[in-house]
């Protein structure tokens, strides 16, 4: 009887050790693979069919910006078609509610200077990967192209179960609104980071992001 109990106990121990080892290996083996794109940041946008048509249209309207994405050292936060759709909906709802009513706008018809100043906020000078933000707990303040408008980027390491910092990498991208007080900032988390293009780094923003970071863009476009 004692022999049988000993054997059963040994089997249970071996099974549990094997199970734990399997689970732990799964999370330890999680790696954040750095994606590489064989082309410029501009070519990346152009190659994602049906994803960035609106951003490319906006870039077409601003002299020199497409060249910047094609040849300059930059970090790009890519904005999807749905984000531009959300922005246009908010802009045109405000215009419809104004007195007198203002006609609707499109990317082709909106004020070029306003579009330029806000579009540039998604294109930062220099190349920065998530590890660069990770070195500072508070993140980095980085100037945009052309206007040097300060944006903020902070590393957010998500956790896989049982492995701290082992989940997908995210970057919190913020418009500080020229304020040192974080409560006034408007932020969005990336859904993909660290796509290495030939001339820069591409990060992808979620489709629910409102291009322009909120009311400031709406007010700037609808100013009489």
Query: Average pLDDT of 8-34?
Result: 38
pLDDT digits (tens, 9 = 90+) for 129-160: 999 998 877 889 999 999 999 999 999 875 44
Same domain, 98 and 24: no
Report which DSSP code applies to 11: H
Q: Provide the CATH number for the domain around residue 183.
A: 2.30.180.10
Same domain, 70 and 177: yes
Length of the chain: 224
Q: Is the pLDDT of residue 224 over 90?
A: no
Q: What percent of the chain has pLDDT over 70?
A: 79
Same domain, 60 and 154: yes
Cα dihedral 55, 216, 214, 85, rounded to 10, equals -40
Q: How confident is the model at residue 58 (pLDDT cuts 50, 70, 90)?
A: very high
Give residue 44's domain range.
33-222
Same domain, 62 and 21: no
Q: What pLDDT, on the 0 to 100 scale, is given for residue 34?
A: 54
Average pLDDT, the chain: 84
Side-chain-facing half-sphere of 108: CA atoms under 13 Å = 1
Query: Average pLDDT of 84-105?
Result: 94
Same domain, 78 and 94: yes
CA distances from 33 to 29, 30, 57, 124, 162 (A): 12, 9, 31, 23, 20
Same domain, 120 and 55: yes
- CA pair distance 13, 2, nearest whole angstrom: 17
- CA pair distance 224, 219, nearest whole angstrom: 10
Q: What pLDDT, on the 0 to 100 scale, is given for residue 9?
A: 41
Same domain, 195 and 111: yes
């Amino acid at each position: 009887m004692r022999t049988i109990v000993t054997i059963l106990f040994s089997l249970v121990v071996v099974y549990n050790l094997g199970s734990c080892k399997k689970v732990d290996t799964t999370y330890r083996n999680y790696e954040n693979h750095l994606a590489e794109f064989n082309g410029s940041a501009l070519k990346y946008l152009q190659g994602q069919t049906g994803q960035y048509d609106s951003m490319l249209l906006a870039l077409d309207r601003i002299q020199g910006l497409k060249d910047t994405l094609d040849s300059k050292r930059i970090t790009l936060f890519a904005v999807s078609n749905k984000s531009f759709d959300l922005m246009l909906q908010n802009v045109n709802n405000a215009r419809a509610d104004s007195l007198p009513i203002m006609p609707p706008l499109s990317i082709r018809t909106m004020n070029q200077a306003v579009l330029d100043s806000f579009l540039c906020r998604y294109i930062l000078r220099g190349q920065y990967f998530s590890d660069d933000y990770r070195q500072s707990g508070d993140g980095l303040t980085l100037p945009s192209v052309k206007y040097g408008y300060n944006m903020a980027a902070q590393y957010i390491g998500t956790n896989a179960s049982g492995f701290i910092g082992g989940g997908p990498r995210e970057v919190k991208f913020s418009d500080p609104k020229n304020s040192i007080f974080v409560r006034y900032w408007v932020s969005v988390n990336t859904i993909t980071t660290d796509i290495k293009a030939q001339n820069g780094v591409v990060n992808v923003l979620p489709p629910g992001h409102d291009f322009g970071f909120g009311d400031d863009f709406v007010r700037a476009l609808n100013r009489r």
